Amino acid sequence: MNALGRHLLLELKDCNPEVLNDLEFLRHCLYDTAKVIGATVVNDCFYEFSPHGISGTVIISESHLFIHTWPEYGYAAVDIFTCGDSVKPELAVKPLVERLESKNPSFIELKRGILLNNRIGCVK
């Protein structure tokens, strides 16, 4: 199946709450992840909620990495969307699981922008 992009959705449960509420740690995690998958970082934006929780994105030339954390539940949602064939988003899963100390991780991969005869189409 030929697609414009790959989108990994990570469900990271039973994580270390302390790292989920550490903005600089999470920024470094996403920058390191971009490097591991072979992406080129363009910019980032992170926000720390009160009393806890962080949302952040690292924009890459190939698309983006996002994280949203709920330390009070030990949960992080991570999206990794990449376009092209030069990056390998699947290489991000193991390091993120380890660094966030998730004891109950799962992920799915979606193909985005399915190409049929060089046109975007629908899969039936």
Catalytic site positions: 63, 68, 83
Residue reference for tokens 């998730």: 102
Using CA atoms, how far apart are residues 124 and 45, in angstroms rounded to an integer? 37
Using CA atoms, how far apart are residues 54 and 72, in angstroms rounded to an integer? 11
Using CA atoms, how far apart are residues 67 and 69, in angstroms rounded to an integer? 7
Using CA atoms, how far apart are residues 94 and 76, in angstroms rounded to an integer? 14
Give the full edge-to-edge strand order of the sheet including 104-116. Answer: 41-48, 54-60, 63-70, 75-83, 3-13, 104-116, 119-120
